[in-house]
Structures are given as structure tokens and as C-alpha cells.
Amino acid sequence: MLEALSASYYRLHGDIDMQESSQLLRELLALPAGMQAVTLTLDVGGVGTADSLLLAALLDLRRKLEGRGCRLHVRGLPEGLRGLARVYGIESLLEPVLEQA
């Protein structure tokens, strides 16, 4: 589900459901611990289905990285998740980290 392509570039793929979300959240939040780069890039273009828990994980990861003086860059957020962010009113919180399509 979470694949390291380099020390600061990760790819997320597959379907993310309630059962997998808690493990994924732990993995995502552990990423900054050993990070040396200023920007962590997370490519989520390979995600099939996901729900608001992935959005929450992205926001938590962003907060944790910013606390260390680092940035999060998210590539390939599926339109369905962008729409979900709009529905929940959190799109403005994600916009600074999202790659523009």
C-alpha cells in the first residue's frame, strides 16, 4: 500500500478501507521521524478507493511535517477525494500541499 521510492518520495496505491486505514495512518505519521529532506512527496495517484480517513491522514501528516519545518507535497489526488474534501469543507486546508492538475 505505501511504497518508498526514495527517502523523500513515497507512492500510495490500492484500495484503502476502514480496516487498512489505521495501519496506513501509523505508517504515514512515522515517515517524518527519519526524514532528512525538506519536502516529502506522496503520490496518491494509484489509490483506487478511499474515504475521509485518507484526507485526515494527509492533514495529520502535513501538520506533523510543518512542526519539523518540512513540507508535504501530494501528487495525483483522485478527483473523488478532492470532491470529498470540498463536501467536508477542508479543501482549503489541502490546497497548499496539492499538485495542481
Mean pLDDT of all residues in 77-94: 91
Percent of the chain at pLDDT > 90 equals 39
What is the chain's alpha carbon radius of gyration, rounded to the nearest angstrom? Answer: 12
10 close to 2: Cβ distance less than 8 angstroms: yes
92 Cβ neighbours under 8 A, 6+ residues apart: none
Q: Which three cell numbers stand for residue 62?
A: 502535513
Model confidence pLDDT, tens digit, residues 10-32 = 999 998 877 777 788 788 888 87
Alpha carbon distance 13, 16 (integer Å): 8
The three grid cell numbers given for residue 100, joined into one nine-digit string: 495542481
Q: From its phi and psi, is residue 97 left (phi > 0), alpha (psi between -120 and 50) or beta?
A: alpha
Say which CATH topology domain 2-97 has.
Transcription Regulator spoIIAA (3.30.750)
Q: Where are the domains of the chain?
A: 2-97
Of 43, 51, 32, whose CA–CA distance to 75 is shortest? 43
Nearest-angstrom CA–CA distance, 17 and 25: 12
Q: Which three cell numbers stand for residue 74?
A: 501530494
Q: What is the pTM of this model?
A: 0.87
